[in-house]
Amino acid sequence: MPAPLAGVASRDEAKARAYLGTLQGAPPYFSLTELISRSSLLVEAAGGAAVPELARSAFAAGKDLMVISAGALLDHPALFEEARRRNCRLLVPSGAIAGLDGIKSACEGQVERVTMTTRKPPRALEGAPYLRQHGIALAGLTEEREVFRGSAREACRGFPENVNVSAAVSLAGIGPDRTEIRILAVPGLTRNSHDVEIVGEFGELRISIRNVPSENPRTGKLAALSIVRSIRQAFDPVRIGT
């Protein structure tokens, strides 16, 4: 179903207005306060640092919120309860991953483990806080290298612009501290790769994704398409799948 766009807000008004000027039929620019008052659903695409304040403001106004920077939610679990308390929807798109319906269903029973392995070209990981903190340089890498192994919570803190998919997997499943994440840098790789394995009383589920990168090498085109579909779905009373 079509969803009319009320407008946009940004941390950098000048940059946002300049970009809007390049679009045909561009939506209007508003302050965040005015945008919240004019909208029924807010869609965050500003990065994890913007999530807590935006969520509290949206929920206080009785508005629904879609969070793209899902990793930020792992450090602010109170936002889930705030959404429930105020009867507002907090929506998290699947992003660049698939199979969250299967993960959610499986976790209604006993699940032994959920593991996720992400492979990306080195340039897609450059600048990640975890790499800087540990002095890991990827320039000139000639073979596949594991650069991280740990929980989804740790992965999202160390790679906030790279592995929001791991946050979605952990929130749909057994949680950010029990979900194991591996991140590998692979020279010459042309597609962002995600492999998820779930083992439990239901049996075994394996999910394999090979995403074509978007204009931003840190994320895949499937992530953008997931956001579009999630917005449409938010306004559609018909729902297919778990």
CA 100, chain centre distance (Å):
13
Q: Could you tell me the CA-to-CA distances from 183 to 103, 125, 213, 226 in Å, in that order?
A: 20, 9, 16, 22
All structural domains of the chain, each given as residue ranges with its CATH number in brackets, are: 13-92 (3.40.50.720), 100-219 (3.30.360.10)
Quick one: pLDDT at residue 213? 78
C-alpha R_g of the chain: 18
Catalytic residue among 63, 120, 194, 218: 194
- pLDDT 10s per residue in the chain (242 long)? 567 899 999 999 999 999 999 999 999 999 999 999 999 999 999 999 999 999 999 999 999 999 999 999 999 999 999 999 999 999 999 988 889 999 999 999 999 999 999 999 999 999 999 999 999 999 889 999 999 999 999 999 999 988 889 999 999 999 999 999 999 999 999 999 999 999 999 999 999 999 887 777 777 788 889 999 999 999 999 988 87
First-to-last alpha carbon distance for the chain, in angstroms, is 19
Half-sphere exposure of 203 (CA within 13 A, CB side): 4
Instruction: Specify whether 194 is catalytic.
Output: yes
Q: 241's torsion region: left (phi>0), alpha (psi -120 to 50) or beta? A: left
Q: What is the pTM of this model?
A: 0.89
Quick one: pLDDT at residue 239? 87
